[in-house]
């Protein structure tokens, strides 16, 4: 299928984008890796597509004492390739290199992934575990939300009309921090059927766990000490989240969560560093 | 069985052998790898319109009204506008076959989601799709037939003049005596293979235009069989065949999907005549997935009888094939069903057999023969069954196969269904696979267990693949085509280079290379100086086309025949130029060689074309441009065969399956080009892995397809392909020109069986035995859960031991 007719605008800066997006029939597009197919299938029919992928304000990064604020239009590939610094010991590149295929990573953006809010996508779950915040700008000004507050449900976010994601703030983590990330995909590059991310940072006492690839928003446990310390903890957590009704699916999620937790010990150190 | 033709053995270096058996690099890659191929999607004619089809949104419904806005008059067409165009009729002569009339645009009724209802033409496809949205179709929905087992029994009638939703019932009974039912081992299994889409890289596409200079309707189309499309189109449009030319440009994979006449082709051809403008249609991936290219959906209930040593005593089967709503032209709705009946016994020496197969009509797209055709389903069914027998007997599945395979001392062998196995050593191919996969090592490793807790399993599958079926196989069917003598045109050009012209089409088979190698083998001419012309009815002799693993045998044989005939004519002229008697000259290395010297093809051609005054008065006037024909000495087909073996690792908790090792021991007779054969096997195996683990076209209860993009219809990618190891045996066929056999489909036949058996082997300890493909992680998890929920005593009785 071919997309229905739409206008295409590429404003020069964020102010221009805000103006263009004031039209209620306009829709922002960054990498277009989800919106593109939806346009072609005529499932999305905006009157105007506003291309924000090259806005200078969305393409940079800003080092802050507590972390790094990344421009929303940075691509997965830029994280994968280390083209931007990482406030964690390599966790962002680890997540990025597992997203879809390289062709998707070359164009797809971190902000676009959050805005699309596919429950099975990598960034929403991984960034929720990493305690990231989403920076938004719209007609009413700017605001910040934790990832788990930004994503309201499957394909549903706190974005209001005319508002865009401008950046993602990822907190700095110590060299002792560990990150376990596991997902089950039917094939390389496919959306996950089960997913879990765990962050442990002894320096700040952080123990966060996020479960993705549910039918709804990510399950985020801010203090996952119980799940991390005893083997039955994951079961309790999945039951509490209502993810234990189908026994076969429950066992898959449990196995993936166990792998993520096990990976804290084995896989989370970047090359060249020892635990 | 000499090991000629091993990759690299006869290649490399100046003057190396470049004929039959050499791994000559693909000539067609010079354009294809540089992105310079020309496909339908690359083509545009002046004044061209593009078609979009408004397709049925329901699986089964009567059309009450089609509302087309007045401003679309002359741009939007329905069935009534195409008055005079005949329905596509793919009949068979088989007794009891029910004929489905397939209109090119729906006529009063729709029978599957995606059936074309209105054709809309515009300057661009996007615009045509916009216009489609202005059209409204009113339907009266009817109950949809989604499950073939129910459709055959009491479903709402799809073709209302039929008594039941069944195209044909095929059956056979050979030596089956009820005493076999007292066999010590009796195993019953239900096996199901899911509906698939073929998914070539390039979808279907066509452009129809009227060429005034030759007064011919030219249909450029991505087809495997231009001459058959020409005949079918002429029939539908009521035109003389001479009024139609069909040309296939570069075609990006077919696998069977491009081996039929499609309603969209008929519509575009009709519209181009009606409007006197070129009309193009390019299938997109969504159309491909929901409206077309469906295949593979089989259901089997089988009982195998064996002695306590695992020797098969008999097999009883009832099978259903979901053939979809219409019978496709030319292969009909019954090719699969008939192949199920005749191929289910596989390469085994089966003493007694009874099988009944229903080719069921359903509210889904017509089933189309896909690489391997029914043999993939059949191989899955019988090979899962052999493993079930082995488990019941407590004997290694490998050993049970060895005890039942047709032995070389029995060759040539007529199977219980009358298949003439030409030559080969099936047990030896299996034995080599056993060695290559390190059977004993894997069994030891299984005992030791895996450090990562995964379960590993070993699976085998053996099959033989009938290819290049000839007249005696097809004439009894009464379908619209019967393969006969294959023709080739050969022409020495004025500069002494060569054109060979064949009526098939090369769309990945590498025929531009391999047939040039055949010419090289006969004439000694460098393959680089040979053009293989194909895919154009105006330039090539008639052929049923490229299908059924037939081209190496049939086109290869025809090119050899034509080159031999040409060699005779070249020799006469050469002998005259050499002043030598005809008997004293030979044709070799693109020269005529006499006792006292030689002349090159270039000199011979120059004499014939440019200096005819130098020819003898009594020269054969037929010259250096001819058509010659070929058929094998026995035309029931070649039987290549292979043993596949694989090792998988399975995680019971997640259902994840990883293929750790995969080996294939294959016998394609003499290989025209071993590198090309390996490529065919790799490609087929990738598709077989798709069948085994990934691909499934799911329908809901209303007949709505649930996969409309490749995000939902999963194809294996590079990441899912194991490093397949191939070994060749080369038992020449006694019936073909060079001893070659058809191997084009084989790779796609055995993987679901080998992988399925390996998964079952891995999970045997948990009491799991899966019989539905694809074996997705969800199915594996659910099977593990179900086995855990079932008490072990029940599990044992379900093993089906009669004692």
The verdict on A222 and A156 lying in the same domain is no
Q: Supply B8's token pair.
A: 């690299």
Residues whose CB is less than 8 angstroms from the CB of residue B356 and which lie 6 or more positions away in sequence, other chains included: B169, B170, B171, B317, B318, B319, B341
pLDDT at B422: 84
Is A184's CB within 8 Å of B656's CB? yes
How distant is the Cα of B307 from the closest Cα of chain A, in angstroms? 38
**CATH code at position B773:** 3.30.365.10
Q: For A183-212, what is the mean pLDDT?
A: 94
Last residue of a domain, one of B630, B645, B676: B630
User: Above 70 in pLDDT, residue B798?
Assistant: no
Has residue A273 been placed in a domain?
Answer: no
Has residue B684 been placed in a domain?
Answer: yes
> Which residues make beta-bridge pairs with A27?
A49
Q: Is B447:B735 a contact under the CB 8 Å cutoff?
A: no
A247 chain-B contacts, CB cut-off 8 A: 785
> Residue B121: in which H helix or E strand, if any?
strand B116-122
Residues of the domain holding B713: 374-467+636-798
pLDDT at B13: 52
Q: Which residue has the higher pLDDT, B790 or A202?
A: A202
Has residue B258 been placed in a domain?
Answer: no
How distant is the Cα of A5 from the closest Cα of chain B, in angstroms? 8
Q: For B306-323, what is the mean pLDDT?
A: 97
Q: Supply B32's token pair.
A: 């294809």
B778 chain-A contacts, CB cut-off 8 A: 193, 248
List pLDDT tens digits, range A259-268.
999 999 875 4
pLDDT at B472: 87
Q: For B107-130, what is the mean pLDDT?
A: 97
List pLDDT tens digits, range B253-297.
999 999 999 999 999 999 999 999 999 999 999 999 999 889 999
The verdict on B607 and B681 lying in the same domain is no
Residues in chain B: 803
Has residue A193 been placed in a domain?
Answer: yes
Last residue of a domain, one of B630, B645, B665: B630
Has residue B723 been placed in a domain?
Answer: yes
Question: What proportion of chain A, given as a percentage, has pLDDT over 90?
Answer: 87
pLDDT at B15: 67
The verdict on B602 and B642 lying in the same domain is no
pLDDT at B691: 98
Question: How far apart (Å, rounded) are the C-alpha atoms in residues B283 and A38?
Answer: 18
The helix/strand/coil state of A257 is helix
pLDDT at A227: 87
DSSP state of B24: P
Has residue A212 been placed in a domain?
Answer: yes
pLDDT at B477: 84
Q: Is B366:B115 a contact under the CB 8 Å cutoff?
A: no
Has residue B494 been placed in a domain?
Answer: yes
Q: For B528-547, what is the mean pLDDT?
A: 97
A194 chain-B contacts, CB cut-off 8 A: 654
Is A248's CB within 8 Å of B714's CB? no
Q: For B502-517, what is the mean pLDDT?
A: 97
Residue of B289, B451, B653 to mutate when probing chain A, most A C-beta within 10 A = B653
Q: Supply B611's token pair.
A: 């200096």
The verdict on A148 and A72 lying in the same domain is yes
Q: Supply A262's token pair.
A: 């096990």
pLDDT at B184: 97
B651 chain-A contacts, CB cut-off 8 A: 255
pLDDT at B794: 54
pLDDT at B792: 61
Q: What is the 3-state secondary structure (H, E, C) of A36-61?
A: HHHHHCCCCCCCEEEECCCCHHHHCE
User: Above 60 in pLDDT, residue B797?
Assistant: no
From the list A2, A3, A184, the residue facing B654 with the nearest CB is: A184
Is A190's CB within 8 Å of B785's CB? no
In chain B, the largest separation of any two C-alpha atoms, in whole Å, equals: 94
Q: Which residue has the higher pLDDT, B792 or B47?
A: B47
Question: How far apart (Å, rounded) are the C-alpha atoms in residues A194 and B738?
Answer: 54
Is B129's CB within 8 Å of A2's CB? yes
**CATH code at position A161:** 3.30.465.10
Q: For B611-620, what is the mean pLDDT?
A: 89
The verdict on B442 and B539 lying in the same domain is no
pLDDT at B380: 98
Residue B281 in contact with partner chain A when CB distance is under 8 A: no
Residues of the domain holding A203: 178-266
User: Above 60 in pLDDT, residue A205?
Assistant: yes
Has residue A154 been placed in a domain?
Answer: yes
From the list A187, A249, A254, the residue facing B714 with the nearest CB is: A187
A252: closest chain B residue by CA: B654
Q: For B386-402, what is the mean pLDDT?
A: 98
Is A41's CB within 8 Å of B778's CB? no
User: Above 50 in pLDDT, residue B548?
Assistant: yes
The verdict on A79 and A154 lying in the same domain is yes
> Residue B420: in which H helix or E strand, if any?
strand B420-421
At B367, give phi and psi (nearest 5°): -80, 140
**CATH code at position A261:** 3.30.390.50
Question: How far apart (Å, rounded) are the C-alpha atoms in residues B423 and B412?
Answer: 6
User: Above 80 in pLDDT, residue B799?
Assistant: no
Last residue of a domain, one of B630, B658, B687: B630
Has residue A271 been placed in a domain?
Answer: no
The verdict on A69 and A153 lying in the same domain is yes
Is B654's CB within 8 Å of A249's CB? no
The verdict on B549 and B644 lying in the same domain is no
Has residue B502 been placed in a domain?
Answer: yes
The verdict on B788 and B672 lying in the same domain is yes
Has residue B563 been placed in a domain?
Answer: yes
Question: How far apart (Å, rounded) are the C-alpha atoms in residues A206 and A198?
Answer: 10
Question: How far apart (Å, rounded) are the C-alpha atoms in residues B791 and B737?
Answer: 59
pLDDT at B9: 40
Has residue A97 been placed in a domain?
Answer: yes
Q: Which residue has the higher pLDDT, B801 or B423?
A: B423
For residue A21, give the nearest of A164, A159, A162, A166 by alpha carbon.
A162
Q: For A227-233, what is the mean pLDDT?
A: 85
pLDDT-derived band of residue B801, with 50, 70 and 90 as boundaries? very low
Q: What is the DSSP string of B734-777?
A: TTSSSSB---TTGGGTSHHHHHHHHHHHHHGGGT----EES--H
Question: How far apart (Å, rounded) are the C-alpha atoms in residues B282 and B48?
Answer: 13
The verdict on A190 and A257 lying in the same domain is yes
How distant is the Cα of A258 from the closest Cα of chain B, in angstroms? 11
**CATH code at position A20:** 3.30.43
Number of domains in chain A: 3
User: Above 60 in pLDDT, residue B793?
Assistant: no
How distant is the Cα of B282 from the closest Cα of chain A, in angstroms? 10
User: Above 60 in pLDDT, residue B1?
Assistant: no
List pLDDT tens digits, range A152-175.
999 999 999 999 999 999 999 999
Q: For A194-205, what is the mean pLDDT?
A: 95
Q: For B105-109, what is the mean pLDDT?
A: 97
Cβ contacts below 8 Å, chain A against chain B, sum to: 65
User: Above 90 in pLDDT, residue A274?
Assistant: no
The verdict on A157 and A223 lying in the same domain is no
For residue B618, give the nearest of B670, B578, B576, B647 by alpha carbon.
B576
pLDDT at A220: 95
Q: Is A228:A200 a contact under the CB 8 Å cutoff?
A: yes
Number of domains in chain B: 2
pLDDT at B12: 47
The verdict on B657 and B678 lying in the same domain is yes
Has residue B390 been placed in a domain?
Answer: yes
Question: What proportion of chain B, given as a percentage, has pLDDT over 90?
Answer: 91
Q: Supply B787's token pair.
A: 């086995």
pLDDT at B51: 98
List pLDDT tens digits, range B121-169.
999 999 999 999 999 999 999 999 999 999 989 889 999 999 999 999 9
């Amino acid at each position: 299928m071919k997309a229905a007719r739409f206008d295409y605008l590429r404003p020069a800066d964020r102010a221009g984008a805000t103006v263009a997006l004031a039209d209620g029939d306009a829709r922002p597009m960054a990498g277009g890796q989800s919106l593109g197919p939806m346009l072609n299938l005529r499932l999305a029919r905006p009157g105007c597509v506003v291309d924000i992928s090259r806005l200078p304000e969305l393409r940079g990064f800003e080092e802050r004492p507590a972390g790094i604020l990344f421009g929303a239009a940075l691509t997965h590939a830029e994280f994968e390739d280390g083209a931007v610094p990482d406030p964690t010991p390599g966790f962002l590149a680890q997540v990025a290199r597992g997203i879809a295929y390289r062709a998707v990573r070359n164009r797809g953006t971190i902000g676009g992934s959050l805005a699309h809010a596919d429950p099975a996508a990598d960034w929403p779950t991984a960034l929720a575990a990493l305690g990231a915040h989403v920076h938004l700008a719209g007609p009413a000004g700017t605001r910040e939300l934790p990832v788990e507050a930004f994503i309201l449900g499957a394909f549903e976010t706190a974005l209001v009309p005319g508002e865009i994601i401008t950046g993602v703030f990822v907190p700095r983590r110590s060299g002792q921090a560990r990150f376990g990330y596991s997902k089950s995909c039917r094939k390389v590059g496919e959306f996950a059927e089960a997913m879990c991310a765990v962050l442990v940072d002894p320096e700040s006492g952080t123990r966060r766990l996020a479960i993705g690839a549910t039918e709804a928003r990510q399950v985020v446990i801010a203090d996952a000490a119980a799940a991390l310390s005893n083997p039955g903890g994951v079961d309790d957590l999945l039951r509490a989240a209502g993810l234990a009704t189908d026994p076969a699916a429950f066992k898959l999620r449990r196995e993936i969560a166990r792998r993520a937790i096990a990976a804290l010990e084995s896989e989370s150190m970047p090359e060249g560093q020892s635990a | 069985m000499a090991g000629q033709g091993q990759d690299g053995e006869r290649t490399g270096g100046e003057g190396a052998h470049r004929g039959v058996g050499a791994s000559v690099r693909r000539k067609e890659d010079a354009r294809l790898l540089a992105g310079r191929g020309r496909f339908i999607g690359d083509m545009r004619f002046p004044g061209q319109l593009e078609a979009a089809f408004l397709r049925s949104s329901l699986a089964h419904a009567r059309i009450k009204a089609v509302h087309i806005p007045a401003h679309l008059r002359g741009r939007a067409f329905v069935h009534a506008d195409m008055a005079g165009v005949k329905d596509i009729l793919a009949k068979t002569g088989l007794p009891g076959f029910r004929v489905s009339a397939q209109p090119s645009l729906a006529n009063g009724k729709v029978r599957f989601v995606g059936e074309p209802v209105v054709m809309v033409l515009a300057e661009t496809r996007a615009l045509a799709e916009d216009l489609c949205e202005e059209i409204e179709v009113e339907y009266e929905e009817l109950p949809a037939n989604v499950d073939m087992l129910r459709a055959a029994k009491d479903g709402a009638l799809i073709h209302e003049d039929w008594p039941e939703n069944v195209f044909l019932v095929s059956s056979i009974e050979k030596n089956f005596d009820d005493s076999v039912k007292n066999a010590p081992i009796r195993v019953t299994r239900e096996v199901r293979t899911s509906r698939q889409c073929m998914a070539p890289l390039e979808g279907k596409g066509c452009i129809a235009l009227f060429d005034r200079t030759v007064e011919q309707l030219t249909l450029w189309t991505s087809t495997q069989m231009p001459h058959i499309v020409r005949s079918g189109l002429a029939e539908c449009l009521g035109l003389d065949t001479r009024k139609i030319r069909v040309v296939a440009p570069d075609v990006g994979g077919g696998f069977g999907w491009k081996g039929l006449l499609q309603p969209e082709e008929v519509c575009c051809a009709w519209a181009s005549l009606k409007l006197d403008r070129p009309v193009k249609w390019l299938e997109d991936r969504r159309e491909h997935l929901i409206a077309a290219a469906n295949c593979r959906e089989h259901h089997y209930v089988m009982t195998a009888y064996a002695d306590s040593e695992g020797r098969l005593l008999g097999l009883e089967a009832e099978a259903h094939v979901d053939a979809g709503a219409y019978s496709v032209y030319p292969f009909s709705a019954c090719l699969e069903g008939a192949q199920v009946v005749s191929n289910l016994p596989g390469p085994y020496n089966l003493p007694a057999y009874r099988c009944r197969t229903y080719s069921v009509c359903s509210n889904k797209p017509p089933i189309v023969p896909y690489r391997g055709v029914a043999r993939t389903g059949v191989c899955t069914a019988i090979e899962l069954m052999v493993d079930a027998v082995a488990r019941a007997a407590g004997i290694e599945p490998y050993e049970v196969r060895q005890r039942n395979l047709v032995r070389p001392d029995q060759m040539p062998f007529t199977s219980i269904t009358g298949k003439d196995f030409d030559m080969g050593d099936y047990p030896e191919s299996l034995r080599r696979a056993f060695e290559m996969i390190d059977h004993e090592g894997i069994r030891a490793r299984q005992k030791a267990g895996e450090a990562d807790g995964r379960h590993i399993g070993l699976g085998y599958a053996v099959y033989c693949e009938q290819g290049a079926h000839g007249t005696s196989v097809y004439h009894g069917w009464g379908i619209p085509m019967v393969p006969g003598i294959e023709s080739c045109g050969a022409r020495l050009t004025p500069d002494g280079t060569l054109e060979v012209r064949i009526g098939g089409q090369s769309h990945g088979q590498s025929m531009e290379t391999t047939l040039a190698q055949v010419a090289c083998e006969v004439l000694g001419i460098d393959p680089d100086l040979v053009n293989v012309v194909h895919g154009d009815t105006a330039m090539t002799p008639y052929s049923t086309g490229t299908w059924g693993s037939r081209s190496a045998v049939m086109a290869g044989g025809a090119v050899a025949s034509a080159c031999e005939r040409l060699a005779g004519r070249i020799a006469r002229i050469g002998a005259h130029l050499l002043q030598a008697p005809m008997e004293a000259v030979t044709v070799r290395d693109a020269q005529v060689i006499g006792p006292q010297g030689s002349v090159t093809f270039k000199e011979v051609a120059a004499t014939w074309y440019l200096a005819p005054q130098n020819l003898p008065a009594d020269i054969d006037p037929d010259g250096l441009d001819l058509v010659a024909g070929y058929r094998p000495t026995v035309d029931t087909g070649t039987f290549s065969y292979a043993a596949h073996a694989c090792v998988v690792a399975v995680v019971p908790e997640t259902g994840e399956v990883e293929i750790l090792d995969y080996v294939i021991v294959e016998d394609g007779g003499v290989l025209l080009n071993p590198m090309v054969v390996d490529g065919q096997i790799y490609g087929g195996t990738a598709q077989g892995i798709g069948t085994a683990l990934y691909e499934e076209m799911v329908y809901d209860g209303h007949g709505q397809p649930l996969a409309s993009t490749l995000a939902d219809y999963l194809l294996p990618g590079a990441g899912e392909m194991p490093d397949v190891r191939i070994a060749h045996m080369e038992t020449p066929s006694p019936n073909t020109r060079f001893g070659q056999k058809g191997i084009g489909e084989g790779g796609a036949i055995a993987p679901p069986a080998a992988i399925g058996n390996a998964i079952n082997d891995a999970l045997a300890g948990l009491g799991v035995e899966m019989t539905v493909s694809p074996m997705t992680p969800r199915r594996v998890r659910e099977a593990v859960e179900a086995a855990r929920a079932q008490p072990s005593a029940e599990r044992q009785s379900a093993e089906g031991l009669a004692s």
